[in-house]
Each structure stands twice: as C-alpha cells, then as structure tokens.
Chains A and B, each alone.
Chain A
Amino acid sequence: QKEVEQDPGPLSVPEGAIVSLNCTYSNSAFQYFMWYRQYSRKGPELLMYTYSSGNKEDGRFTAQVDKSSKYISLFIRDSQPSDSATYLCAMSVMREKLTFGTGTRLTIIP
C-alpha cells in the first residue's frame, strides 16, 4: 500500500462546476498537508498549505483535512479552463521531505 493514494484521473468537468480532488494516506504522523498545481512541463506551484485538521479557504480554492479519516480534499469553485492541470497532494511529518500523491489530471471543458 502506498503511503499516499490519489486517483490519477483523468477528470473532466464543465466550466463553472465545482471540482473535488481527494487523497488518502496511511501515515498518521503526517501533519502538514499541501496541494500543488502543475501545468505540463512546468514545476509544481503551491496552492494550499494546511497544518493538522481543518479547513482553509483561498479565493476559489478550499482545502480540507480530516486526520481522523486520513483524508484530504481540495475543492475548486467556479472552475475555469485555466484550472486545467495536474493537481498533486503532498504531506510531511515535519519540515522535511514531502510524500506526494501520483497527481490527478484535471480538464475543465469550456
């Protein structure tokens, strides 16, 4: 079993829809959770950073962490074609190496 599981997709949704992306993990020691967006042939861009359980909102993006279920989510409201990218979840125990999910390829259809 991988430490971090993420559905690779691909996921296609119409423009304006709410997108839900998820990851599950097995290591209960993880306490820092991140979501990155990666466009093709580019480096990952940090979208959301959360410590421990709870919700965090930034514009159209909301990150949720449920440590009891070992489950994290990223919601994108009012999705735009420019949101089409690969979304990677990542997590870490302390200030050290990140463990990444495989990434979910998202396409927003105009």
Chain B
Amino acid sequence: GAVVSQHPSRVICKSGTSVKIECRSLDFQATTMFWYRQFPKQSLMLMATSNEGSKATYEQGVEKDKFLINHASLTLSTLTVTSAHPEDSSFYICSASPAGGNEQFFGPGTRLTVL
C-alpha cells in the first residue's frame, strides 16, 4: 500500500515552454500533497503544500506564478512549470499524506531538463 506515482518520469523541453507533472496516490486518498525540488547531491527542498480543493501554500522564494499547482481531487495533484528555463532543470518529487495520517509517501520523481 501507500503507492505514489508521478508522470512523466523524465522530460526534456525547450526554454520558454511549459511542463506539467502529475502526482497520483494510487491506493489511498491524500488530502495533502507536497512538491519538492532536489538538486544533485542535495536534500529535498519543499516548494509548496497542496490541499485538495484549496490554493497551494508556497514556501518563501518559490514563485507561485511560475510553479502552478492544482490539487483537483483526493488522488491527483499537478505541478506546471511555466516558461521553463535551464535553471529550472532539477528533480521534482511529490509526496502525499493519507487522510488522518502523518507519514509522507513519495513518488519516484520527475527529472526535468530544460535546454
């Protein structure tokens, strides 16, 4: 149980384009999902907290207009990187917490490369 999937696993795009990443909880309902970014050999940095049916809460320094988050249902959250630039190239990982639980279960991550 507690499986989280992400799609796509890898994406390469041109500078200026937008990229959408999906995060799904496969066998549980998640009222809260989290989006992280991880640079090589560094730890995870929380970007935003996403609650189903409400606006996401962004961490300091994260541009909400650039990183659009939609938590449309209890099993799906999406992160859209708008007008991506090479400095946005990173490993993006989502996590989900079961309703009433405290653990976070992570997806396999999406590697974004912006040319």
Q: Which residues of A contact B (CB under 8 A)?
A: 32, 34, 36, 41-46, 49, 51, 88, 90, 92, 94-98, 100-103
A44-B44, A95-B97 given. 4 additional CB < 8 A pairs? A34-B103, A97-B59, A100-B43, A103-B43
Q: Contacts of B42 on A, CB cut-off 8 Å?
A: 102
Q: Which residues of A contact B109 (CB under 8 A)?
A: 41-43
CA distance A34 to B102 in the complex (A): 10
Q: Name the residue of chain A whose CB is nearest to the CB of B111.
A: A41
A100-B44, A101-B43 given; A46·B32 CB < 8 A: no
Tell me, yes or no, whether B49 is within 8 Å of chain A by CB. yes
0 or 1 for each of B86-115: is its CB under 8 Å from A? (1 = yes): 000001010001000111111111010000
Contact A95 B32 (CB under 8 A): yes
Residue of A nearest to B2 (CB): A46
Q: What residues on A are CB-neighbors of B32 within 8 Å?
A: 95
Query: Could you list 11 A-B pairs, sorted by A, with CB under 8 Å?
Result: A34-B103, A34-B104, A46-B105, A46-B106, A92-B102, A95-B32, A95-B97, A95-B101, A96-B49, A100-B44, A102-B42
- In the assembly, what is the distance between CA of A44 and CA of B6, in Å? 13
Report A-chain residues with C-beta under 8 Å of the C-beta of B59.
97
Q: Indicate if the CB atoms of A97 and B34 lie closer than 8 Å.
A: yes
B46 near A: Cβ within 8 Å? yes
A98: B residues at CB distance < 8 A: 34, 46, 104
Question: Are B101 and A88 in touch, CB under 8 angstroms?
Answer: no
CB distance from B10 to the nearest CB of A (A): 9
Given A41-B109, A42-B109, A95 and B102 touching (CB < 8 A)? yes
Residue pair A46, B91 in contact (C-beta under 8 Å) = no
